[in-house]
Amino acid sequence: MKNFLTSWTEYILSRTDLIGSAIIEHLIYTITVVVSATIFSITIGILSRNNEFLKELSLSIASVFLTLPSLALFTIFIPLVGLGFTPSFIALFMYAILPILRNTITGLQSVDSSIVESAKGMGMDSSQQLRYIQLPIAWPVILAGIRVSTLLTVSVAAIATLVAGGGLGDFIKSGLARIPLPNSFEAIWTGVVFCVILAFLVDLVLSFINKYTVSGGLK
């Protein structure tokens, strides 16, 4: 074990540039996918908040996305958009929708009707009620969904390497392809461990966002 850790440390130190580039690619996937999925899911959640049929339909479609095999979902778009970033982004986006959408709908439903009625009594229209009452109250629940979606994206993004999408999955694929040649296990460990570290750091950032964006009265 000691020899392996020494070998792995040497492997990392000799490839810092490659690892840094892979982390940046992985982070780009995570940020672009989660931001896009958040905007999309919150929009759908708002539009369907007063329509039970639309709620169930949107949740059902998003649930189906999550049940599709990841490798199939990454490769199915290759004939349409080619290899690289685009098919990976589409697949990750489809996976990221459900946690945010479900929590958006749940959060908006959890707003006490008496609060909404009070807002109406104060002369607020529906858009003002949504902006100043419903969304702020639902935000902690929505943010919890964003955190789940983010961690899911970080982990599944490792599969992007199979469609030439880059990221930390490149090290995992390279290591698996070269077993039992030298540095094969070191490459696998590098991809896995840095994915875990990245997930931890991104979740830490989201925990700070939660701390400073959630009203003290809702904590």
Query: What is the tens place of the pLDDT at every residue in 61-104?
Result: 999 998 888 888 888 888 888 888 899 999 999 999 999 999 99
**What does the alpha-carbon distance between residue 58 and residue 96 come to, in Å, rounded to a whole number?**
14
The residues, ordered by sequence, that sit 6+ positions from 191 with a Cβ below 8 Å of its Cβ are 22, 158, 168, 169, 170, 171, 172, 175
Query: How many Å from the N-terminal Cα to the C-terminal Cα in the chain?
Result: 45
CB count in 10 Å sphere of residue 55: 20
Tokens of 124: 């607020």
pLDDT at residue 217 above 60?
Answer: no
For tokens 């750091």, name the residue.
201
For tokens 């999550």, name the residue.
66
Which of 39-43, 121-125, 160-164, 180-184 is the least confident region? 121-125
**What does the alpha-carbon distance between residue 117 and residue 138 come to, in Å, rounded to a whole number?**
16
**What does the alpha-carbon distance between residue 202 and residue 96 come to, in Å, rounded to a whole number?**
15
- Contact (CB, 8 A) for 160 and 29: yes
pLDDT at residue 1 above 90?
Answer: no
- Residues 20-45 have pLDDT tens digits of 999 999 999 999 999 999 999 999 99
Percent of the chain with pLDDT over 70: 97
CATH of 12-214, one of 1.10.3720.10, 3.90.1150.10, 3.40.50.10490, 3.40.50.10860: 1.10.3720.10
For tokens 């004939």, name the residue.
79
For the segment 39-61, the average pLDDT, to the nearest whole number, is: 92
pTM of structure: 0.91
